[in-house]
Amino acid sequence: MPCMSDGPSQSEIDRGHLNMLLDELDGKHASGYDADASLSDWARHEDQRPNKNNNDLAVELCGRLTKLSKTKVGTLSLEMQIWWRDHQRFDKRRQAAERLERRAKQLRTRALAKLTPAERKALRHR
């Protein structure tokens, strides 16, 4: 009995998309993408990087794009430019959230340092 599937998962689609973008940087898709390609076409894209998860692929793509000038990025496919724009926005939001979290942790540490050992112990046993 054949295997049943509702199609590729979002993770598979994302993985194929990242692989296609990395292939573009490797010169394997110099003319960009097929305008009629669907997201499921990306999922079927041959995976040249089987030992990397989606996060690893995104980190690799980010690192490689970071090294390019804005002019060079502007010569890449629209799909690549959109991914890069969105990724940079996500990174800025993530970095801002990390700064807020570090600040809150520092404030908590300073506040706890002002308490006596008995007061800190009382807070732990709430």
Average pLDDT, whole number, for the chain? 84
Segments making up each domain of the chain, as ranges: 10-124
| Global model pTM greater than 0.85 | no
63-76 b/e (C-beta count within 10 Å ≥ 16 → b): eebeeeeeeeeeeb
7 CB-near residues (< 8 Å, 6+ apart): 40, 43
pLDDT in tens, 57-100: 999 999 999 999 999 999 999 999 999 999 999 999 999 999 99
Asked if residue 29 has pLDDT above 80, the reply is no
